Amino acid sequence: MAACVSENDSDKKLEFFLNVPFPCEREAAIALQSLSPDPEPRKGGITKNLDVTGHTLSVRWTADEARILRVSVSSFLDHLCLVMETMDAFGPPVS
């Protein structure tokens, strides 16, 4: 898992990137499908983009305020843990 916080000079927004490697492409796709339906509850101030490349789930947040970013990332990590624990409990996916 790799993360970076930076301030975008052009519009003074905070950005946070997260890459989560999975054992296989299928598990990364399952995680993407499980986590994508959750839109940000607050309108405006933050965006979250999810994508899968190979066996890596990539997430990018852009926010106006550090507090909003922290809450969104924390909530996402809670959901990600639940998804990973569920996949672990049921074993590797069958293609």
Q: How far apart are CA 73 and CA 32, in angstroms?
A: 15
Q: What is the pLDDT of residues 12-71, one digit of tens each?
A: 789 999 999 999 999 999 999 999 876 666 677 899 999 999 999 999 999 999 999 999
What is the per-residue pLDDT for 16?
Answer: 95
Q: Domain spans of the chain? A: 2-90
pTM for this one? 0.81
Q: Does residue 6 have a pLDDT over 80?
A: no
Which one of 3.40.50.300, 1.20.1440.230, 3.30.310.50, 3.40.50.1820 gives the CATH number of domain 2-90? 3.30.310.50
Range list of β-strands (E), 1-95: 2-8, 13-21, 46-53, 56-63
Identify residue 25 by its one-letter amino acid code: E
Q: How far apart are CA 68 and CA 42, in angstroms?
A: 9
CB within 8 Å of 4: residues ≥ 6 apart: 15, 16, 17
In the structure, what pLDDT confidence band is assigned to residue 2 with cuts at 50, 70 and 90? very low
